[in-house]
């Protein structure tokens, strides 16, 4: 059963991913109610309706369930139980069970490893005794790939993002200190790998099992935050095909219905390891708004509403650059430096306060080749700094 344009859709979360979902839904004639505990967020400021309440607020969930035909999320840390509650009165995509895995690094890594997907060697750190008694308690996966886990990265299992909730550690003493710094919350210790590059795939999978991947994005990070995405990724056809195939298999194994991002590490020998998955559109897929027939957000709407998937074909090459709050230090950035280029698209998220490391917007350069797009993207970046 499909949800027809004109219907009200519900969205959990109020950030920029929600804003872009809302805009895509509205442009297809849907209306959107945003549930966001914050005021004046990027999504609620464009939504038809804002429910100003906690994600666990039973009145708000009842209201959302009774007024919306379908509900989706833009925020991976939304309580899975809220999605489960909403699945009674309405269509929900993605399902609580998928989000529960993707939002917890321990469940995520264990799911990936158990299903044969390559991941960085890791150990689950549940409590201090794991650190002092590693042989007995740490679950070390695939140690044969790399000797030991040091130097490594300790990653908190819940609520980490943009490199937050992570610490580099080179020995057990540093691990101990870092674990205390994470308030002894459950963590994953992962081996620090020499990366050739990083790529990601946005995969869309409908309720009927129809699946489509977006072109593979090559991602460059700065201080743990995505800085630049280059599409199509500059990798061999074999790596590109492999990334798309693995992303589809991850979605199928999760029985995922919706838009999912699979982030990969590319090793020097061409091997792909799954870094993490996000149960929603992703920053590395923002290029699709301007460069693809169908954006990742329109695809999210289509899946939620039981419509056929749109084409993920790309018009050319694209480079997306994030605009972080740091750029605002000297006042409003000189947008004319972006807008004077006719094939560059500016997106700002309407955030009122520009903080260090905060994603405020992005721009996408469209060109015939990745080289040309990258060159212009870098010129613009320099002119803004
Ligand atoms: P987040 O949720 O913050 O995106 P990630 O696990 O994706 O967390 O880590 C952010 C970035 O840190 C990655 O994109 C990568 O650049 C780097 N990184 C993370 N884990 C490793 C690792 N095991 N080896 C090398 N680099 C890593
Ligand atoms: Mg990441």
Same fold for the pair 8-92 and 121-191 = no
| Residue 325 annotated as lining a ligand binding site | no
Phi/psi-derived region of residue 222, left when phi > 0, alpha when psi is between -120 and 50, beta in every other case: beta
Q: How far apart are CA 385 and CA 329, in angstroms?
A: 10
Of all residues in the chain, what percent carry a pLDDT higher than 70? Answer: 95
Check pocket membership of 224 for ligand 1, CB cut-off 6 A.
yes
Strand partners, 272: 266
Q: How do residues 146-203 score in pLDDT, each as one tens digit?
A: 458 889 999 999 998 888 899 999 887 888 889 889 988 999 999 999 999 999 999 9
| Residue 191 annotated as lining a ligand binding site | yes
Give pTM, 2 decimals: 0.95
Q: Is 194 exposed, middle or buried (0-12, 13-18, 19+ CB in 10 A)?
A: exposed
| Residue 160 annotated as lining a ligand binding site | yes
Judged by its nearest atom, the ligand closest to the C-alpha of residue 152 is 1
Residue 26 CA to ligand 2 center (angstroms) comes to 29
Question: Which pLDDT does position 201 carry in this prediction?
Answer: 99
Q: What are the residue boundaries of the structural domains of the chain, listed by start?
A: 8-92, 121-191, 197-384
Which string of DSSP letters, residue by residue, matches 296-311? HHHHHHHHHTTPPPPP
Check pocket membership of 218 for ligand 1, CB cut-off 6 A.
no
CATH 3.40.50.880 fits 197-384, yes or no: no
Phi/psi-derived region of residue 337, left when phi > 0, alpha when psi is between -120 and 50, beta in every other case: alpha
Nearest CA-CA partner of 259 in 269, 250, 272: 250
State which ligand 1 atom lies nearest to the alpha carbon of 155. Answer: 6
Element containing residue 85 per DSSP (H, E) = helix 80-86
Judged by its nearest atom, the ligand closest to the C-alpha of residue 166 is 1
**What is the third-level CATH fold of 121-191?**
Dna Ligase; domain 1 (3.30.1490)
Check pocket membership of 348 for ligand 1, CB cut-off 6 A.
no
Give the count of beta carbons closer than 10 Å to the beta carbon of residue 329.
9
Nearest CA-CA partner of 219 in 320, 124, 119, 308: 320
Distance of CA 63 to the CA centre of its chain: 28
Q: Which two tokens stand for residue 184?
A: 């002894």
Which residue spans within 66-206 are E strands per DSSP?
Answer: 70-73, 91-92, 122-125, 152-156, 166-169, 187-191, 197-205
Which of 265, 274, 283 is the best mutation target for the ligand 1 pocket, counting ligand atoms within 8 Å of the beta carbon and taking the most? 265
Q: Which two tokens stand for residue 70?
A: 């379908």
| Residue 107 annotated as lining a ligand binding site | no
SS3 content of the chain, % helix, strand, coil (to 5): 30, 25, 40
The crossing angle, in degrees rounded to 10, of helices 296-304 and 16-27 is 70
Which residues of the chain fall below pLDDT 70?
A: 1, 128-147
Element containing residue 319 per DSSP (H, E) = strand 317-324
Residue 263 CA to ligand 2 center (angstroms) comes to 7
Nearest CA-CA partner of 173 in 227, 128, 119: 128
Q: How do residues 284-333 score in pLDDT, each as one tens digit?
A: 999 999 999 999 999 999 999 999 999 999 999 999 999 999 999 999 99
Q: Compute φ and ψ for 74, nearest 5 degrees.
A: -115, 5
Residue 377 CA to ligand 1 center (angstroms) comes to 23
| Residue 155 annotated as lining a ligand binding site | yes
The DSSP secondary-structure symbol of 285 reads: G
Check pocket membership of 276 for ligand 1, CB cut-off 6 A.
yes
Which of 102, 224, 279 is the best mutation target for the ligand 1 pocket, counting ligand atoms within 8 Å of the beta carbon and taking the most? 224
Q: Compute φ and ψ for 303, nearest 5 degrees.
A: -65, -50
CATH 3.40.50.20 fits 8-92, yes or no: yes
| Residue 181 annotated as lining a ligand binding site | no
What is the arrangement of strands in the sheet containing 152-156, beginning at the earlier edge strand? Answer: 122-125, 187-191, 152-156, 166-169
Check pocket membership of 74 for ligand 1, CB cut-off 6 A.
no
């Amino acid at each position: 059963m499909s949800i027809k344009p004109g219907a009200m859709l519900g969205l959990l979360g109020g950030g920029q991913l929600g804003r872009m979902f809302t805009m895509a839904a509205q442009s297809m004639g849907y209306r959107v109610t945003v549930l966001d505990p914050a005021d004046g967020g990027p999504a609620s400021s464009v939504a038809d309706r804002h429910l100003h309440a906690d994600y666990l607020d039973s009145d708000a969930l009842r209201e959302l369930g009774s007024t919306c035909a379908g509900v989706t999320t833009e925020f991976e840390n939304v309580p899975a139980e809220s999605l489960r509650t909403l699945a009674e009165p309405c269509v929900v995509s993605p399902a609580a069970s998928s989000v529960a895995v993707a939002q917890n690094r321990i469940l995520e890594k264990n799911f990936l490893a158990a299903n044969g997907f390559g991941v960085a060697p890791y150990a689950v750190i549940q409590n201090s005794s794991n650190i002092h008694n590693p042989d007995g308690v740490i679950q070390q996966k695939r140690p044969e790939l790399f000797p030991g886990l040091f130097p490594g990265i300790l990653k908190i299992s819940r609520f980490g993002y943009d490199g937050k909730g992570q610490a580099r550690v080179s020995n057990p003493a540093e691990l101990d200190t870092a674990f205390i710094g994470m308030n002894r919350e459950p963590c994953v210790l992962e081996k620090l790998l020499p990366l050739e590059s990083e790529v990601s795939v946005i995969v869309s999978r409908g309720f009927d099992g129809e699946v489509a991947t977006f072109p593979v994005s090559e991602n460059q990070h700065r201080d743990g935050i995505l800085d630049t995405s280059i599409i199509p990724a500059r990798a061999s056809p074999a790596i590109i095909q492999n990334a798309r195939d693995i992303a589809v298999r991850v979605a199928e194994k999760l029985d995922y219905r919706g838009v999912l991002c699979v982030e990969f590490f590319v090793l020097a020998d061409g091997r792909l390891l799954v870094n993490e998955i996000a149960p929603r559109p992703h920053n590395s897929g923002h290029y699709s708004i301007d460069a693809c027939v169908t954006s990742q957000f329109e695809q999210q709407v289509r899946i939620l509403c039981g419509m056929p998937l749109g084409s993920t074909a790309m018009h050319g090459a694209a480079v997306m650059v994030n605009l972080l709050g740091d750029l605002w230090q000297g006042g409003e950035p000189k947008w004319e430096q972006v807008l004077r280029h006719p094939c560059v698209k500016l997106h700002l998220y309407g955030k009122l306060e520009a903080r260090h490391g905060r994603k405020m917007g992005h721009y996408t350069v469209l060109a015939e080749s990745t080289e040309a797009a990258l060159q212009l993207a870098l010129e613009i970046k320099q002119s803004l700094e």
